[in-house]
Amino acid sequence: MKEAKETISFIRDYYERSDFIPLHEPKFRGNERKYVVDTIDSTFVSSVGAYVDKFEDMMASITTAKKAVAVVNGTAGIQVALRLAGVESGDEVITQALTFVATANAVKYNGAEPVFLDVDYETMGLSHTALKSFLEEHCEVRNDKCFNKISGKKISACLPMHTFGFPVKIDKIIHICEEWNIPVVEDAAESLGSYYKGKHTGVFGQLGVFSFNGNKIVTSGGGGAIVTNDEFIGKKAKYLTTTAKISHPYEYIHDELGYNFRMPNLNAALACGQLEALTGFIEEKRELATKYESFFDELGIKFRKEPENSTANYWLMCVELQNKKEREEFLKYTNQEGVMTRPIWRLMYKLEMYKDCFRDHQKNAEFLEDRIVNITSSVK
Ligand SMILES: *Cc1c(COP(=O)(O)O)cnc(C)c1O
């Protein structure tokens, strides 16, 4: 396959590497080592420490959120964010089927059911038109709450995801959700450093959640952050994720079912070093995106660019192939040759756990599932 062959040489030239090239690998070239060693020297490696506080301050400042709370990973962060938005057992949560499984799992952990709506072709995130149609066709507002008339269940949150760091049309989604009294929680796990209409993703909704897993744009080894502009919710997020303990100098009293979802100081130290490097990483990725764009243009392959009104972090870059067969060939050839590529996720309702969940027509999601392939996106 000529296209795959040329892509491999382009990637090998860019990275100046002849060995196996992973899709996305972390880079530590700033203060990461210094900060991590510092936690060991101080003995503060666990659940409290100066780096946890510093990380939370940095996240609040980067996103302009009033409050950021460090958590053990992004999945746990979404789980708690949904609970804070009011999701209870037996409810329904609107989200997209074209996402990483953690989005849907976080809904299920709260005893709620995901409702899968189609994505926008351009952003690859939740479609505001699909959202509007679903609500108008199937839902009603009673006692200030939104109910699904068919299942009889309360729709207690909407959880859009910013796919690969490309922002969804979040203002439109929020506008619709406001009309229907549905709180919005943003799965911003992939969109640290991505802006929509000049504002950082994750702070449009009531809550937003970021991930610092090893494959994300920056990493803490494993970790996450919940952000919110609601100070009460922010305090409650900290309290719930740190075992719901009443503040006291020595007594251990917990007055609610909390979680041990803390991010250890050791990980927060790594995250602080990485956050310092974020702007540089994004510049480098955006330069690579420009190079990819002209390269794929010439090859006749569609390189996916940031949507209108947004500045994307280009966390994982991707191309759109002609059809499923071409996608298969491209994947097979590149992976065989040691340049890792990966198809976009299997749609959630095709997974065993979610096969009985409600879904709409999924026109764009099905189209994208057959064609989108992620390509090497690490910084050099
Ligand atoms: C990575 C990711 C998560 C989960 O984050 P973890 O830190 O790995 O738990 C959630 N949602 C999406 C879309 C992700 O890409």
The domain locations on the chain are 2-26+278-375, 32-276
Distance between Cα 343 and ligand 1 center (Å): 17
Alpha helices in the chain (DSSP H): 2-15, 32-42, 50-63, 74-85, 101-109, 128-138, 170-179, 231-241, 265-299, 324-336, 363-371
Q: Could you read off the pLDDT of 242-281 as tens digits, one per residue?
A: 999 999 999 999 999 999 999 999 999 999 999 999 999 9
Long-range interactions of 349-352: CB distance < 8 A, separation 24+: 349/97, 349/116, 351/101
Q: Which of 243, 196, 224 is nearest to 78 (CA)?
A: 224
User: Which residue's alpha carbon is at the smallest distance from atom 5 of ligand 1?
Assistant: 74
Q: Could you read off the pLDDT of 281-313 as tens digits, one per residue?
A: 999 999 999 999 999 999 999 999 999 999 999
Q: Tokens at residue 312, please?
A: 């994307």
What Rg value do the Cα atoms of the chain yield, rounded?
21
- Give the whole-number percent of the chain exceeding pLDDT 70: 100
Average pLDDT of 362-379? 98
Q: How confident is the model at residue 190 (pLDDT cuts 50, 70, 90)?
A: very high
User: Which residue's alpha carbon is at the smallest distance from atom 6 of ligand 1?
Assistant: 74
Separation in Å, CA 357 to CA 5, 93, 117, 157, 191:
40, 11, 11, 16, 27
Q: What are phi and psi of 162, to 5 degrees?
A: -90, 90
> Buried b vs exposed e over 101-116: b needs ≥16 C-beta within 10 Å?
ebbbbbbebbebbbbb
CATH placement of domain 2-26+278-375: 3.90.1150.10
- Give the whole-number percent of the chain exceeding pLDDT 90: 99
Cβ–ligand 1 contact at 187 (below 6 Å): yes
Q: How confident is the model at residue 144 (pLDDT cuts 50, 70, 90)?
A: very high
Q: Could you read off the pLDDT of 230-240 as tens digits, one per residue?
A: 999 999 999 99
Whether the model pTM is above 0.85: yes
- How far apart (Å, rounded) are the C-alpha atoms in residues 258 and 244? 5
Q: Are 262 and 224 in contact (CB under 8 A)?
A: no
Q: What is the pLDDT of residue 152?
A: 97
| Closest-lying ligand 1 atom to the alpha carbon of residue 215 | 1
Q: Which of 116, 167, 78 is nearest to 346 (CA)?
A: 116
Residue to mutate, 23, 24, 75, ligand 1, most ligand atoms under 8 Å from C-beta: 75
Q: What is the pLDDT of residue 238?
A: 98
Separation in Å, CA 346 to CA 191, 242, 328:
20, 34, 14
Q: How confident is the model at residue 94 (pLDDT cuts 50, 70, 90)?
A: very high
**Following DSSP, what letter does each residue of 188-238 receive, concatenated?**
-TT-TT-EETTEETTSSSSEEEEE--TTSSS--SS-EEEEES-HHHHHHHH
- How far apart (Å, rounded) are the C-alpha atoms in residues 56 and 212? 13
Residue to mutate, 71, 211, 267, ligand 1, most ligand atoms under 8 Å from C-beta: 211
Q: What is the pLDDT of residue 1?
A: 82
Q: What are phi and psi of 148, to 5 degrees?
A: -80, 115
Cβ–ligand 1 contact at 189 (below 6 Å): yes
The one-letter amino acid at 293 = E
| Closest-lying ligand 1 atom to the alpha carbon of residue 75 | 9
**Following DSSP, what letter does each residue of 10-53 receive, concatenated?**
HHHHHHT--S-B-S------SSHHHHHHHHHHHS--SS--HHHH
Q: Are 212 and 203 in contact (CB under 8 A)?
A: no
- How far apart (Å, rounded) are the C-alpha atoms in residues 14 and 36? 31
Q: What is the pLDDT of residue 294?
A: 98
- Lowest-confidence range among 106-110, 194-198, 251-255? 251-255
CATH placement of domain 32-276: 3.40.640.10
- How far apart (Å, rounded) are the C-alpha atoms in residues 80 and 89? 13
Question: β-strands 113-117, 67-71: how paired?
Answer: unpaired
Average pLDDT of 156-161? 98
Mean pLDDT (the chain) is 97
Sole residue written with tokens 């100081």: 265
Q: Could you read off the pLDDT of 313-356 as tens digits, one per residue?
A: 999 999 999 999 999 999 999 999 999 999 999 999 999 999 99
Question: β-strands 342-343, 372-375: how paired?
Answer: antiparallel
Number of other residues whose CB lies within 10 A of the CB of residue 265: 26
Q: How confident is the model at residue 130 (pLDDT cuts 50, 70, 90)?
A: very high
